Amino acid sequence: MAVPTKNIPAPDLVPVRRALLSVFDKTGLIDLAKALAAAGVELISTGGTAKAIAEAGLAVRDVSELTGFPEIMDGRVKTLHPSVHGALLGIRDDAEHAKAMRDHRIEPIDLVVSNLYPFEEVRCSGAGYASIVENIDIGGPAMIRASAKNHSYVAIVTDPADYASVVNALEMNLGSLSLDFRKKLAAKAFARTATYDAAISGWFAEALEIEHPTWRAFGGRLDQVMRYGENPHQGAGFYLSGDRRPGVATARQLQGKQLSYNNINDTDAAFELVGEFDPARSAAVAIIKHANPCGVAEGATLKAAYAKALACDPVSAFGGIVAMNRILDAEAAEEIVKTFTEVIIAPDASDEAAAIVAARKNLRLLVTGGLPDPRAAGTMVKSVAGGLLVQSRDNAVVDDLELKVVTKRAPTPAEMADLKFAFRITKHVKSNAIVYAKDGATVGIGAGQMSRVDSSRIAARKALDAAEAAGLAEPLTKGSVVASDAFFPFADGLLSAIEAGATAVIQPGGSMRDDDVIAAADKHGIAMVFSGVRHFRH
């Protein structure tokens, strides 16, 4: 049953006579406190915040004077008191509330400035369980929610970025804040506590290994408002979850115009793919277009790897995203800028490379400080009508799999190396996915088709086009290997790959017709390996 409504209209302008300031992040605190004091606002504060204000030479009243009770339990209990929450929740124009405030000598608080213990930061720092729990704020969220609920009379400020607008609004309204302004602050406050609680509940689920908690929440902080989404008629914003996984969300943009929605989506796909390749073993470059790779290669240098990746599909690479697993050097940068590229992302960039890229003012250069761990656990979320699909990250790595040769002929060492290379990439190609590879480079990629046969044929056709563009006598699929993200339900997909020139194949296996597919491979003398792991990607 709903709580009955008092139906008391909220005043438009509420004078700010008394403010409670209790913050962990003290950015801008003193400037705000000085502005409030200059406007005749009485300052009330707690602990370290009160100390900082007093040291700045401002008069400040300790919250314990209001409550008549000292801070106890290392500051865990200081604002959780009727003298504070009554001052925040009291409906000033309600006779019963007003009488209760008078009877209990509760002085109204008109403005609350509060931000929270840094739970998200401590969680990501690798701190122990007890330390993380200790950084769960209780009094702060309680004050914020109380103030936000009673925004008819109380203004709640949770973000130092809003201090200047609060001071400006007070000046414009001669010491008062408008109802519309208070509503906007309240909306932001509830969003902040919701995001905070989402981080806490998410951490508990991870720490206790609860794969599917009954209630699931996700939150983030707005990083940028974009010009539009996937298409110009769609609005879009980019929110940061607080996850420190190296990638587009944590990268530092050295130069170039603002990233678009599609840029971010494609750059994430590119860097996740290149993270599959150990930089200590070889340089690796991935070129992405519309979240699918159009060329991936390993090489002795980034320049060599880029050249091999570009050769796979030079037409699709135009306007693409280039990701690499090593520090961008000048040689590689000189080659990359010869083709129109939207974004380059790398663990870092040399000064010479950055200067080369800087000559293309719209080309974005992102550095991440590291590579994403392909084996790390994580959570992926996708929205559907009326709900969310939540799953664990696909963190299967081909080097960890027990590969099984199922044909009469086993792959040669060179074929096996290329099979592993190709299967790494199928994990990052939209299903149905077919990847041809040769000498540590993709030579044909078929993505996102309803039929696996069509993916195989498209990949072969692209290889033929690339060969013609390069002036080669035959496509590089001749003598290549092929990887499939899922099993071949019929032998026709395999036969299409054989027709393109593949000599070995890797696939998960598990089809009812595996025996027919294996027989077809044996008939044509090709080697086949089962991985036992499927890599669907939708």
Cβ neighbours of residue 164 under 8 Å, at least 6 residues apart? none
Cβ neighbours of residue 461 under 8 Å, at least 6 residues apart? none
Cβ neighbours of residue 280 under 8 Å, at least 6 residues apart? none
Return the SS3 of 236. coil
Measured from the Cβ of residue 71, the count of other Cβ atoms closer than 10 Å reads: 17
Q: Which two tokens stand for residue 402?
A: 């027990």
Angstrom distance (rounded) from CA 455 to CA 342: 26
Measured from the Cβ of residue 453, the count of other Cβ atoms closer than 10 Å reads: 21
Residue 112, CA distances (Å) to 16, 50, 182, 185 in order: 10, 14, 11, 11
Q: Does the active-site annotation cover 151?
A: no
Sign for the CA dihedral angle at 196, 202, 208, 210 comes to positive
* Interhelix angle 491-500/514-523, nearest 10 degrees: 30
For residue 161, give the DSSP letter.
Answer: G
Return the SS3 of 104. coil
Catalytic member of 34, 188, 290, 524: 290
Q: Does the active-site annotation cover 34?
A: no
Strands (E), 373-412: 379-384, 387-392, 404-405
Angstrom distance (rounded) from CA 187 to CA 189: 5
Cα angle, residue 316 at apex, residues 313 and 319 outer, rounded to 5°:
130
Catalytic member of 26, 149, 183, 524: 149
Radius of gyration of the chain (CA): 30
Cα angle, residue 177 at apex, residues 171 and 178 outer, rounded to 5°:
120
Catalytic amino acids? 149, 290
